[in-house]
Amino acid sequence: MKNLRLTGVFTVMLFLMVGVLTFTGCDSGEKVVDKATGKQDVKQFQKMKKDIGKIADQQAERYNQIPDDKKN
């Protein structure tokens, strides 16, 4: 019983070490961590929010350039 518990602890530690080394050893590991924690989604949301703001500003500028008689 004690031997089984020791083997289980060793196996869990081995898996944890492999997982940590895999994710920190390469750039794609950083991407995986960002994806898992949601940081990538937040970055994408902020970028889209900026893009939508730029598009809204461009549309407002175009609308203001239309002569008054064509607006109605």
**Given this model, what pLDDT does residue 17 score?**
79
* In contact, 25 and 31? CB cutoff 8 Å: no
**27-60: buried (b, 16+ CB within 10 Å) or exposed (e) per residue?**
eeeeeeeeeeeeeeeeeeeeeeeeeeeeeeeeee
Of residues 1 and 57, the one with the higher pLDDT is 57
* Interval 21-63: pLDDT, tens: 666 656 666 777 788 888 888 999 999 999 999 999 999 999 9
* In contact, 22 and 29? CB cutoff 8 Å: yes
pTM passes above 0.85 = no
Residue whose structure tokens are 């940081």: 39
Q: State the amino acid at position 33 in one-letter form.
A: V
